[in-house]
């Protein structure tokens, strides 16, 4: 009886474990320490110039200064939220998030 239960448990574990690995990995929330933008739920790992590290930050909102895309592991400015586009309306001014 115990051997049969162990066999069933082994079969179930084999069927469940692949599904467990398919779940999305835990993403860090705003203010959590990070090393790469892919670790953050927001998709923006911002450099903290005071401490020398980096933390997860929210994406830029409408009219906020932005970067057109995420480059490298960390940013000095975050890209725009979904639905906004990072453009510069004046060559002398920084890019900002706008709805197009």
**Region 56-74 average pLDDT:** 87
**Structural contact between residues 85 and 96, judged by C-beta atoms closer than 8 angstroms:** no
Q: What is the pLDDT of residue 1?
A: 54
**Domains of the chain and CATH, by start:** 27-99 (2.10.80.10)
Over residues 6-61, the pLDDT tens digits come to: 444 444 444 444 444 444 578 999 999 999 999 999 999 999 888 889 999 999 99
**Structural contact between residues 19 and 56, judged by C-beta atoms closer than 8 angstroms:** no
**97: its two tokens:** 């998030």
Q: Give the chain's radius of gyration (CA, Å).
A: 21
Q: Would you give the DSSP letter of residue 92?
A: T
Q: What is the pLDDT of residue 24?
A: 57
Over residues 50-63, the pLDDT tens digits come to: 888 999 999 999 99
């Amino acid at each position: 009886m115990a051997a049969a239960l162990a066999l069933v448990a082994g079969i179930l574990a084999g069927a469940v474990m692949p599904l467990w690995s398919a779940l999305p990995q835990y993403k860090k929330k705003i203010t959590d320490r990070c090393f790469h933008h892919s670790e953050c739920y927001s998709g923006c790992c911002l450099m903290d110039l005071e401490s020398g590290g980096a933390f997860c930050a929210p994406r830029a909102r409408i009219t906020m200064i932005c970067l057109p895309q995420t480059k490298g592991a960390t940013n000095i400015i975050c890209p725009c939220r979904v639905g906004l586009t990072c453009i510069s309306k004046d060559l002398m001014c920084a890019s900002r998030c706008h709805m197009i």
